[in-house]
Amino acid sequence: MPFIGNQPAEAYSSFQKQDFTTSATTSYTLDHPVSNGNEIALFINFVRQEPTTAYSASGTSLTLTSATTSSDDMYCVYLGKAVQTVNPPNSSVGNSQLDVSAINSQTAETSIAGGDEVLIYDTSASALRKMTRTNFVSGIGGTNTPAFMSQISANQSISHDTVTKINFNTKIFDTDTNFDTTNKRFTPTTSGKYFLSCNISLTGTNNRDYFYALSFYKNGSEVFGIQTGDELTQGTDFGMSTNCVVDANGSSDYFEMYIYSYDYSGSGSISLIKGTQPRTFFHGYKIIE
């Protein structure tokens, strides 16, 4: 029907209740003013009282015919005051009240900033919470660091029946300064699992049969490696490659590369590790877990 004035906002109505702290008195104060006692339903010890007979009300004053005691339970419901709000009452909106357009009609984002917020349900508190994108993805993903790669600056001789540390004395990169070119060690500062890889190029100094073992050492002891035997013609290059995944505690563990060689003829210096070329290197990085 027609009306004069602004279009009223859609409202949800609910009757308001007031609990009283009772004492030996007949006078109480209402939270909301009323015209008379018929605008409230008064209950004492869960029994509804008759308006104008058991009580009277005007404005915010409530007067009882008989005084209450401190042990009485008394409350009233405001019948003449339906409290209105443009917001629905708490817990009154469920799945059936939501239209899918509330979500799918919104503008789709192609990227999200760190301060942007998402809504989640906190099961421990049984409540909705908001989180920023930064908080939401904290701990997810990561970078493969520390990471390093090293080479040797010159050819290195290896001898018969000898375990020799490979002289990786030149850094190609070292993200967290964890590789020491003085002692040729990689010492991770972050605990976790690491992928390590080593490739060497060898050249024979004589036409002989050789045996080789290329090994990763952790804290001075062999942990992984490969072995092979071959006949090297003098001046011919021969490659070896190995890799592994190791655990590091991030404080004191360190890793080095060693090679063992054996000349079946029993001679002395038998071959060279080729330096200053990309085919000889030692590198590694932390695995994202």
Q: What is the pLDDT of residues 172-217, one digit of tens each?
A: 999 999 999 999 999 998 999 999 999 998 876 666 667 789 999 9
Tell which wins on pLDDT, 277 or 25. 25
Count of CB atoms within 10 A of residue 158's CB? 21
Report CA-CA distances (Å) from 199 to 39, 160, 166, 242. Answer: 92, 20, 11, 7
Judge if 157 and 248 occupy the same domain: yes
Under DSSP, is residue 97 helix (H, G, I), strand (E, B) or coil? helix
Among 85, 106, 136, give the residue marking a domain's end: 85
Whether 59 is covered by a domain: the verdict is yes
Domain count along the chain: 2
Task: Write the single-letter amino acid at 233.
Answer: T
Looking at the DSSP bridge assignments, the partners of residue 205 are none
Instruction: Report the CATH number that the domain containing residue 203 is assigned in CATH.
Output: 2.60.120.40
Among 48, 68, 85, give the residue marking a domain's end: 85
Q: Within 13 Å and on the Cβ side, how many CA atoms surround 156?
A: 20
Judge if 176 and 247 occupy the same domain: yes
Report CA-CA distances (Å) from 207 to 18, 137, 174, 204. Answer: 104, 60, 39, 7
Whether 267 is covered by a domain: the verdict is yes
Judge if 156 and 274 occupy the same domain: yes
- Residue 109: its pLDDT value, please? 80
Tokens linked to 29: 């104060």
pLDDT at residue 90 greater than cutoff 80: no
**Which range in 1-15, 26-40, 93-107, 231-245 is most confidently predicted, on average pLDDT?**
26-40
* 3-27 pLDDT per residue, tens: 565 555 555 667 889 999 999 999 9
CA angle at 273 for the pair 256 and 286, rounded to the nearest 5°: 30
Whether 204 is covered by a domain: the verdict is yes
Tokens linked to 24: 């030996």
Among 62, 85, 108, give the residue marking a domain's end: 85
* 14 contacts: CB under 8 Å, gap ≥ 6: 82, 83, 89
Judge if 162 and 265 occupy the same domain: yes
CA angle at 81 for the pair 19 and 1, rounded to the nearest 5°: 160
Judge if 151 and 282 occupy the same domain: yes
Radius of gyration of the chain (CA): 42
Whether 246 is covered by a domain: the verdict is yes
Q: What percent of the chain has pLDDT over 70?
A: 80
Domain ranges, residue 184: 147-286
Whether 98 is covered by a domain: the verdict is no
**Interatomic CA distance for residues 175 and 147, integer angstroms:** 6
